[in-house]
């Protein structure tokens, strides 16, 4: 029986059995979501749990495509809203919310181009001397530090409240979303947004969340410069009634170019989130990989992540994160903890990268 669980657990780190599809929906397109959405889903007819996933600081939801398709191939629908826009050079928000109506297929292609153009504009600011890059980074960090996550939280809850009536109109016939099995997750600043919502910040949500995931979550640039709401207060435990998974990157707290700050600084990173969690909760750190190494393998994602220290290849990190998310969602949305427990005990033999620590604390019955 144990070997069966190990085989099953190793399979979560690879592509699942289900064929998958993705779509981008803009606010001007029916069914008019509050924010532009990147949605991935299995093509096979059936009812699937849903993961609401929030991108990191000034990152495009589209750049998580490989990761999110991996998750969907194991039987999950993922909804990734574009919560905030890259704050460089031009107002991308106008492009992403243009009011003209288009054919769905053309509009989707246009959406992908808008997102790619937005990325390229950001890339333009980073192509230059080391000093140019350092200045751009400091400006970005200052912008994010002085801002708070209030708008992201409010927009994320608007998307949540839109799901019951809107998501079914995005999915093809026969593919149904089970919103009674809804998980909340996010990367970097998006992890902070997810935790903030789970802790009750922001307007009320019409749906209940069943699980929470932080992928290398970050709550600011330092303990003294946290994003609002400041959820890492003293050492007080999070008052959460749902299971939590925190995934960290081994290189996230290292600077790529001292004295520039790290992308996931000590005091506000995954360690600080996890130590405030209570059972049921789990913590995995992917050694040898960086804060942005779960992004896609393309030029845009490569340069978006160039300000963070990273590993030699992104695939092992992306597969590790994807597999961990799948195992966690199976454990707490489908009541199948076999894969998650096997990963904790057998990760040295089945994970694509070194996981240290690999810890699971379950509630006592």
Q: What is the Cα–Cα distance from 262 to 284, expressed in whole angstroms?
A: 19
Known catalytic residue: 188? yes
Residues 60 and 188 sit within 8 Å (Cβ to Cβ): no
Known catalytic residue: 132? no
β-bridge partners, 285: 248
β-bridge partners, 212: 184, 244
77 φ, ψ to 5°? -95, 130
Query: Exactly one of 188, 196, 225, 320 is catalytic; which is it?
Result: 188
Query: Exactly one of 155, 216, 272, 296 is catalytic; which is it?
Result: 216
Residues 37 and 82 sit within 8 Å (Cβ to Cβ): yes
Q: Judging by beta carbons within 10 Å of its beta carbon (0-12, 13-18, 19+), is residue 302 exposed, middle or buried?
A: middle
Q: Give the DSSP per-residue string, 297-352.
A: SSHHHHHHTTTS---S-SHHHHHHHHHHHHHHHHHHHSS--HHHHHHHHHHHHH-S
Known catalytic residue: 216? yes
Query: Exactly one of 291, 339, 342, 347 is catalytic; which is it?
Result: 291
Q: In the sheet where 20-25 sits, what is the strand order?
A: 20-25, 37-42, 77-81, 46-54, 175-187, 211-215, 244-249, 281-286, 355-361
Instruction: Show which residues are catalytic.
Output: 188, 216, 291
């Amino acid at each position: 029986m144990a070997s069966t669980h190990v085989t099953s657990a190793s399979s979560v780190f690879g592509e699942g059995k289900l064929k998958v599809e993705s779509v981008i929906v803009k606010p001007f397109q029916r069914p008019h979501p509050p924010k532009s959405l990147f949605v991935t889903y299995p093509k096979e007819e059936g009812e699937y749990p849903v993961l609401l996933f929030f991108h990191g600081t000034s990152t495009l939801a589209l750049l998580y495509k490989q990761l999110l398709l991996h998750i969907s191939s194991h039987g999950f629908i993922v909804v990734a809203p574009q919560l905030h826009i890259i704050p460089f050079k031009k107002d991308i928000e106008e492009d992403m919310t243009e009011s003209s109506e288009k054919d769905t297929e053309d509009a989707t292609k246009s959406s992908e181009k808008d997102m790619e153009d937005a990325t390229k504009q950001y890339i333009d600011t980073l192509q230059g001397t080391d000093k140019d890059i350092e200045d751009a980074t400091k400006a970005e960090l200052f912008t994010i530090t002085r801002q708070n996550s209030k708008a992201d939280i409010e927009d994320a809850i608007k998307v949540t409240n839109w799901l019951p009536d809107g998501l079914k109109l995005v999915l093809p016939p026969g593919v149904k979303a089970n919103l009674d099995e809804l998980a909340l997750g996010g990367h970097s600043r998006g992890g902070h947004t997810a935790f903030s919502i789970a802790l009750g910040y922001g307007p009320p949500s019409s749906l209940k969340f069943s699980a929470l995931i932080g992928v290398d979550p970050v709550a600011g640039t330092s303990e003294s410069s946290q994003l609002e709401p400041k959820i890492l207060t003293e050492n007080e435990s999070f008052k959460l009634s749902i299971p939590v998974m925190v995934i960290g990157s081994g290189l996230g707290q290292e600077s790529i170019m001292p004295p520039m700050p790290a992308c996931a600084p000590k005091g506000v990173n995954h360690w600080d989130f996890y130590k405030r969690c209570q059972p049921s909760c789990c913590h995995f750190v992917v050694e040898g990989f960086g804060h942005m190494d779960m992004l896609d393998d393309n030029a845009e994602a490569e340069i978006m992540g160039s300000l963070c220290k990273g590993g030699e290849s992104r695939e092992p990190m992306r597969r590790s994160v994807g597999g961990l998310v799948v195992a966690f969602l199976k454990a707490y949305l489908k009541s199948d903890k076999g894969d998650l427990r096997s990963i904790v005990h057998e990760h040295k033999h089945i994970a694509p990268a070194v996981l240290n620590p690999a810890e699971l604390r379950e509630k006592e019955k």
